[in-house]
Structure 1
Amino acid sequence: MNAFAHALTQPATLFLVVIAFFLGFLVRGIGLNSLSPPLMTETQIEEALSKVTKAKWAEIDRATDDRKKILAIKLLREQTGLGLKASKEAVEARMQSRHRMRG
């Protein structure tokens, strides 16, 4: 046991342990999804979008008309709690729909 304790106190061993620990976190992806909302089903996304008020859609439409798509996505995310990808897709779908109606 004494030899094991001595080996653990060596700088090279400690360095390798730290590297192994760090690589383990990278491989597992710790923290990558911690800031993202949980994945939602298509039904949950549609339900969240159905709760957006006409006033909020008007604000989102104004943002897209002013070429402020990022703001529009942010407004939708704040209103619905949807993730970035779902919000972006919803805003882009609305932009296409509005464009077809005008066109």
Structure 2
Amino acid sequence: MNALAQALSQPATLLVAALAFALGFLVRGIGLNSFSPPLMTEAQIEEALSKVTKAKWAEIDRATDDRKKILAIKLLREQTGLGLKASKEAVEARMQSRHRMRG
């Protein structure tokens, strides 16, 4: 254990570790990976949401009424191809607007 601590305290070891970390960070894509959906503009999100059918919105509304918000988000993502964040925000906005309409 003492030998490991001594090896890790060497400047050359620290430099190699820092370079490996930086290289890994750059190769990984600075937090983005191939599984992340492409970033969409507000206009693209609005366009995707406008294509959701009334039947699908009714299904999403039933899911939120049944307190199954995760299912509602999943349904919206499947229909639109939006990312998790955009879908969550859209479902929450719809929930709020429906709540306001009920008074």
Q: Distance in 2 between matches of 1:52 and 1:29?
A: 37
Q: Which amino acid aligns with 1:59?
A: E
Query: CA-atom RMSD, angstroms?
Result: 2.3
Q: Which amino acid aligns with 2:72?
A: A
TM-score by length of 1: 0.75
Consecutive unaligned residues in structure 1, runs of 5 or more = 1-12
The equivalent residue for 2:61 is 61
The equivalent residue for 2:40 is 40
Q: Which amino acid aligns with 1:30?
A: R
The equivalent residue for 2:28 is 30
The equivalent residue for 1:49 is 49
Q: Which amino acid aligns with 1:93?
A: A
Q: Distance in 2 between matches of 1:20 and 1:89?
A: 38
The equivalent residue for 1:76 is 76
Q: Which amino acid aligns with 1:21?
A: A
Q: Which amino acid aligns with 1:84?
A: L
Q: Which amino acid aligns with 2:76?
A: L
1:32-86 per-position Cα deviation (integer Å, ceiling 9, x unaligned): 4221111111110000000000110011001100111111001100100001110
Q: Percent identity?
A: 81
Q: Distance in 2 between matches of 1:89 and 1:29?
A: 30
Q: Distance in 2 between matches of 1:54 and 1:89?
A: 19
TM-score by length of 2: 0.75
1:20 Cα offset (Å): 3.9
Q: Distance in 2 between matches of 1:85 and 1:55?
A: 23
DSSP-derived class of the 2:101 partner: helix
Alignment of 1:12-27 (within 5 A): 20-26=19-25
